[in-house]
Chains A and B, each alone.
Chain A
Amino acid sequence: MNSRRIFAVAYKEWREIVRDRLFLSLAFVVPVSLMLIFGYGINLDVEHIPFAVVDHDKSALSRDYLHRYIDSRYFAYQGDLASEREIGPLLADSRIRLAIIIPPRFEENLMAGRSVAIQTLIDGTFTFRTSSSKGYVIAINAAFNSELLGNYISQRLGIPLETAREMAQPVTAELRYMYNQEIKSVWSIATVLMMFVLMITPPFLTALGVVREKENGSIYNIYASTVTRGEFLIGKLAPYVGISILNILILWLMVARLFGAPFKGDPLFFFLASVIYVICTTGIGLLVSLLVRTQVAAMMMTVVVTVVPSVLYSGLLVPIASMDPAGQFEAHLFPAMYYTDIILGSFLKGVGMEQLWGKVLALLIYAIVLWTASFLMFHKRPKS
């Protein structure tokens, strides 16, 4: 290793990047805007679910029951329907996601101490939304029932309503949300987005940068000179890693300041782990660039190997823990998952090296494998 030659290659690359103004600004604008758009855009707190009701009873009690939905911020009341037949088209057209049907004699039966069956129709297309809405409906229904039961007990046993209510609901869950007290999805998403953005941009920058040199033919300067393979790879990629490190800091600041996610871990540990991750993702770009010949191909390959897995197999949207074994296995193949754990650990959980060393090790191994593979595949005396 000769530091002078590494520096020469790195400096040249850096000058070239700086001269391509659009490229340079996109290298920073893309991560920042991705973070902004997603940070504000993705939110998994399902609210304002549009729904309609068919109230065959139209009694005081049925209105009372329905108002628990209408007044909830989780639901958005779209009006009363005359009959069940109107529900189908509305659900099909996505104007409503849910419909509640109250049967005739709802009030009468309940007052007479009989149970009543009502129907709730839910649009099942988006499973996550379906389970959320179902959860809300169950909770509202349960609250209504325990009130009814309380009233009933109070009447039957002649005890005060307070006591009766307590009897009707003897066990309550006291939920405590760890790490994210208000269960703000922006916290968990903005932090994980760091993973996503740092997965997408470094490989793109790297792959396009290296392939450009191959396409132009200036790579022959490297082939024909005494620069060693390692020196070239390190020098060539140093500016891209540098840009990405700068991006780590920018994104970190955004997550902490703009989205207010608390950083509880060890900054130095997190920074170093992030650098390893960036070296890793840069390595992906490098490997892609060595496999392909043209910039179009580099672009396609990078999309295929980074964008899709980093959305699906990283824990960004879909928790790894809830995947089936095949999905979990695939997730373990991508470095994104390990870094997601490191981010969440450092930001929200406040754990450090002692808990996360395994993940860092995985990233390190990943980086070493990628770079070694690239090193072995890069030849100064290629076949064509």
Chain B
Amino acid sequence: MGQTSLVNDDPPVVRVREFVKRYRKLKAADGVSLDIRCGEIYGLIGPDGAGKSSLMKAIAGVLSFEGGSIEVFGQTIDSEAAAEKVKGRLGFMPQGLGLNLYPELSVEENIDFFAELREVTPVLLAERKRKLLAMTRLDRFLDRPMKLLSGGMKQKLGLVCTLIHEPDLIILDEPTTGVDPVSRRDFWTILTQLLRERDVTALVSTAYMDEAERFQRLSLMFGGLVVAKGAPEVILHDVPGTLVELTIAAQVDALVRLEKRFTQVEAVGSKIKVFVPDVTPQAASAQIQELLTGIKIEQIQVEKPRLEDAFIALLHRHHLSGKEEDSPAEMVWRDGVPPRGDGIAIVARELICDFDHFRAVDRVSFEVRQGEIFGLLGANGAGKTTVIKMLTGIRPPTGGAGTVAGADMRRASQSVKERIGYMSQAFSLYQDMTVQENLRLFARIYGVPGRQISERIDRVIQLAGLGPVCTQLAGKLPMGIRQRLALACALVHGPLVLFLDEPTSGVDPIGRRRFWKILVHLARVEHVAILLTTHYMSEAEHCDRLALMHAGKVIADDTPAALKTALEQEAGQVLDLAAEPVLSALEALEQAGFTDAALFGRRIHLLVKDVDEATARIRAWLSERDIRLLDITPRAPSLEDVFVYRILQQERQEATL
């Protein structure tokens, strides 16, 4: 299998031409065309509202559409009856963590229902169930109601249910969103294994840019359009350029200068990343050094651009990025001089929260200083939201204490509450009210004096770039703008402490960068203490400090750099290798004692202490088994590597207890 075995003149499994989908006036997809070949994993990457779900539903025959044509297995899907003809060969898993499963039913009852629905014979069912459950390690939880599973387990169960009738084409809508990195790795491994065993084609969507390399081919989607398509390498090749990474003490000054010249500038923690289009690495670094004459550059590095950089460049190229109305240096917005305390803003001490069936938060402690961006990183269900709820006083802790600005929020006076801003998970503003109405409501709730309300609203509108959508209903806004509105609502009264629960989930990369720009400004210039949660590993790099949460516990807590250094000292460096066939290679490596070897797209990652010794051993071991090693390079560990390592370490510890 693999790419080489793909014969291009085979008829495509799915053939989409000029697909158009409208919801009333809103155009969800506007002329999308693509072909999916037999046996490949095809990816749809894009933010919420890009049109991914509409396209997938239309292909699965569960959504009618207004224009264009779709063929699946050579059958034109143009009516309900036509769609029925191919549904027997399809498996479809809609978006949402476990939303297509039945929460009250047990794991086994869920599987049995899907099997009965698909008329799988009992003998086949028993056999497939055994195999799939073993693979997903769900066999221990057969009788557990689905609602008590963790997010990762839910998604794996969803996958089992979708695969139980062995479809020829599986369509998975954002199967990994909000899932912890270990479960995510499992998920991809299972998928790859299954695809290898049978000639199955998969169409998978994701909001994570860093998952792109797991696909053979993909389409980058935005606003109902396909911005680029093809193999990841091909897309990167089409957007030539260089990524320059700088470490500069005078960050704000450098940012001002860089932004005047380049459109893709991003402050990530203590670093600045600049995408310089169209030039070679040498030229790029020369350009930047020239631009920053007079500012001391502590370190400068050039890297290959990531798919995200290419995506943003493409959006700029297609003029899909929206207008940038502000730059962070000009974003001073709070009245007077901000209180410049370096004091501790948020304290969590031994916080515990028990629910009926389990402990959601287990002795969590940390501190957040004024002017610091503190990230709680973890999967859905890790306990992040519960921690925020306890700190903000929404939920009483079972044990321990949390204080904000020195006060317990449950008993805090109004004046303390007025100093705090909170943005709850998902979009919880009033969708049936306009942007302005929402802002006015929160300004008045937080006691902004009547005379200042309009002025304040104008300022946050400008800050969040909401000017053009002022009078629109919040529910009609695209996800990225909604999140900025939610942030604006949390900021309208000028808080000193900000709680943000999953603020960027589902937001497009440009929107995310804008969002971070505002946060960085708030922390650096206004000295606001920010506590936020996220499940994007890539985003965690932005935080000054991080706490990694897994199953209710903080399993590591430090600055991103220190976390990585600690990993290198404990477990060594990451070896990144490509081999053919990849799954046999993975198996072989596991036999060789590299138990943490994991599939990463078509590559394998493993942690080694001694790079040279390990490289030699792997080369020998693989060639003995007739596995072709394509390349092998050491790499600095990413935060995801840190996270996976810590989770597995934690699980091992618990197993030995």
Contact = CB atoms under 8 A, between A and B. Distances in A.
Nearest to A216: B99
Interface stretch (A11-19, A50-58, A189-197, A281-289): A11-19
A181 B68 CA distance: 73
A137 interface: no
B116 A381 contact: no
A379 interface: yes
Contacts of A379: 64, 80
Interface in B59-116: 60-64, 79-80, 83-84, 87-88, 90-92, 94-96, 99-102, 104-105, 109, 113-114, 116
A382 B145 contact: no
A127 interface: no
Contact of A225 (B79, B95, B101, B117): B117
A149 to B, nearest CB: 75
A382 B21 CA distance: 12
Given A5-B119, A218-B101, A218-B102, A12 B92 contact: no
Nearest to A383: B64
Contacts, number: 93
A8 B64 contact: no
A355 B357 CA distance: 59
A169 B591 CA distance: 114
Interface in A1-40: 2, 4-5, 7-9, 11-12, 15-16, 19-20
Interface residues of B, number: 34
A220 interface: yes
30 contacts: A5-B119, A8-B117, A9-B117, A15-B105, A15-B109, A16-B105, A216-B99, A217-B95, A218-B99, A218-B101, A218-B102, A220-B62, A220-B92, A220-B100, A221-B100, A221-B161, A223-B62, A224-B60, A224-B91, A225-B117, A227-B117, A228-B84, A379-B80, A380-B61, A380-B62, A380-B80, A381-B64, A381-B79, A382-B62, A384-B63
Given A220-B92, A225-B118, A226-B118, A16 B64 contact: no
A226 B88 contact: yes
A16 B109 CA distance: 10
A224 B104 CA distance: 21
Contact of B114 (A7, A221, A228, A383): A221
A-B complex: 6 closest residue pairs judged by Cβ atoms: A8-B116, A19-B104, A223-B62, A224-B92, A220-B94, A217-B99
Given A8-B113, A12-B113, A384 B118 contact: no
A292 to B, nearest CB: 16
Given A217-B96, A380-B83, A224 B62 contact: yes
B23 interface: yes
B118 A381 contact: no
B93 to A, nearest CB: 8
Contacts of B79: 381
A179 B99 CA distance: 55
B650 to A, nearest CB: 32
Interface string B509-526: 000000000000000000
Nearest to A224: B92
B63 A382 contact: yes
Given A12-B105, A217-B94, A384-B23, A5 B116 contact: yes
Interface string B42-64: 00000000000000010011111
Nearest to B119: A4
Given A4-B116, A11-B116, A382-B62, 14 more contacts: A8-B117, A12-B102, A16-B104, A20-B104, A216-B99, A216-B100, A217-B96, A224-B87, A225-B117, A381-B61, A381-B79, A382-B63, A383-B63, A383-B64
A383 B94 CA distance: 16
Interface in B120-153: 145
Nearest to B83: A381
> By CB atoms of chain B within 10 A, which of A7, A11, A12 has the most?
A12
Contacts of A12: 102, 105, 109, 113
A217 B100 CA distance: 6
A384 B58 CA distance: 10
B25 to A, nearest CB: 12
Contacts of A216: 99-100
Contacts of A223: 60-62, 92
A226 B84 contact: yes
A7 B79 CA distance: 27
Contacts of B64: 379, 381-383
A19 B105 contact: yes
Contact of A7 (B99, B100, B116): B116
Nearest to B61: A381
Nearest to A217: B99
Nearest to A213: B102
A270 B117 CA distance: 35
Given A5-B117, A381-B80, A382-B64, A15 B90 contact: no
Interface string A148-181: 0000000000000000000000000000000000
A221 B171 CA distance: 12
Nearest to B85: A226
Interface string A340-384: 000000000000000000000000000000000000000111111
Contacts of B95: 217
A175 B60 CA distance: 72
Nearest to A222: B117
A228 B161 CA distance: 19
Given A220-B100, A225-B117, A19 B145 contact: yes
Nearest to A228: B84
Interface in A215-247: 216-218, 220-228
Nearest to B54: A384
B64 to A, nearest CB: 5
A9 to B, nearest CB: 7
Nearest to B147: A19
Contact of A381 (B63, B94, B101, B114): B63
Interface in B1-51: 23
A218 B116 CA distance: 16
B117 A380 contact: no
Contact of A11 (B90, B113, B119): B113
A380 B118 CA distance: 16
A225 B88 CA distance: 7
> By CB atoms of chain A within 10 A, which of B62, B64, B91 has the most?
B62
Contacts of B116: 4-5, 7-8, 11
B40 to A, nearest CB: 21
A272 to B, nearest CB: 30
A20 B88 CA distance: 32
A224 B79 CA distance: 14
B102 A16 contact: yes
Contacts of B114: 221, 225
A15 B102 CA distance: 10
A226 B115 CA distance: 12
Nearest to A220: B94
